Amino acid sequence: MANGIWRLTVRSDFAAAHALRNYDGKCENIHGHNFAVEAVVEGDKLSDDVEILLDFKIMKTTLKEVTELLDHKDLNCTAPFDTMNPSSENLARFIYQELGKRIESYGVRVHSVTVSEKAAQSATYLEL
């Protein structure tokens, strides 16, 4: 058999307010979004019993645990965004890192996290 990897994708969302510091425009004012989040994990070994990479239920629950840290918050008052700009780029990195800590014991790694403020625009974070 060929060596390969599997990638699994789950989606979630959260609602939060933020203001972009040092931004010249309307987004410097506090405003809210229904943020959409897409998380992709990858691995090269399926479980022996069920032959799955990771149960989607675990992925969804774990991603929800991370987004709950941000849900219905003023992100500018929520660590680490009380000192870091709560941009989509920084949100994607934060979610990537928090998700990674929670799933590493399952033998998979986070491939990427995408955060969207609107359907037409998104920011994706991944580590090389």
* C-alpha torsion angle, residues 79, 95, 14, 63 (rounded to 10): -130
- The answer to whether residue 105 is domain-embedded is yes
Tell me the three state secondary structure of residue 23.
coil
Residue 67 lies in a domain: yes
- Let me know if residue 38 belongs to a domain: yes
In a domain, 127, yes or no: no
Query: What are the tens digits of pLDDT across the range 90-128?
Result: 999 999 999 999 999 999 999 999 999 988 999 999 999
**111 is an annotated ligand-binding site residue:** no
- Three-state DSSP class for 85? coil
Residue 52 is assigned to a structural domain of this protein: yes
Which residue type, as a one-letter code, is found at position 88?
A: S
Let me know if residue 126 belongs to a domain.
no
Torsion of CA 86, 88, 91, 93, to 10 degrees: -130
Give the CATH number, domain containing residue 72: 3.30.479.10
Locate 21 and state its tokens.
């510091």
Residue 87 lies in a domain: yes
- Binning pLDDT at 50, 70 and 90, where does residue 1 land? low
Catalytic annotation on 72? yes
Catalytic residue chosen out of the listed positions 65, 68, 72, 127: 72
Provide the number of structural domains found in the chain: 1
Closest-CA residue to 77 (of 12, 16, 120): 16
Q: Is 117 a catalytic residue?
A: yes
Domain of residue 87, residue span = 6-121
CA angle 112, 33, 56 (to 5 degrees): 40
Residue 45 has phi, psi (to 5 degrees) of -140, 125
Told to judge if 89 belongs to the known catalytic residues of this protein, a careful annotator would answer: no
The pLDDT tens digits of the residues spanning 16-63 come to 999 999 999 999 999 999 999 999 999 999 999 999 999 999 999 999
Is 109 among the domain residues?
Answer: yes
* Strand, helix or coil for residue 31: strand
